[in-house]
Amino acid sequence: GENVEQHPSTLSVQEGDSAVIKCTYSDSASNYFPWYKQELGKRPQLIIDIRSNVGEKKDQRIAVTLNKTAKHFSLHITETQPEDSAVYFCAVRRTGGGADGLTFGKGTHLIIQP
């Protein structure tokens, strides 16, 4: 099955600096790559996603890049703010027959230092 590796597990940055979280996946046929943000005790919420026919997507301070050849994608957060502190999960949509579920990375705890 699909294997998703996410790094780092914890990331501490100064407020205003940028943060980058990286994920690699194993199935070259995967075609959808979302990023979820989860605050303590809350549900995961989609913050940005990208499909395999696009190399980069940006939404204000958040961007995602995809390298299909290398099978990795990254989340970039610029001008970080205290409210960005949370756990971020990358995910990959499975492919093949009956494969619509998401396989998640183990998560990155992002800490924004004031």
CA atoms within 13 A on the CB side of 25: 29
Nearer to another protein, 65 or 108 (CB): 108
Question: Across the strands, what pairs with 91?
Answer: 104
- 44 belongs to the binding site for another protein (CB under 8 A): yes
Nearer to another protein, 98 or 114 (CB): 98
Q: How many residues bind another protein (CB under 8 A)?
A: 21
> Residues 79-113, buried b or exposed e (16+ Cβ, 10 A)?
ebeeebbbbbbbbbbbeeeeeeebbbbebbebebe
Token output for 18:
């940028």
Site for another protein in 19-38 (CB under 8 A): 32, 34
Over the window 72 to 111, marking each residue x when it contacts another protein by CB under 8 A and - when it does not, the resulting string is: -----------------x---x----xxxxxxxxxx----
Nearer to another protein, 33 or 84 (CB): 33
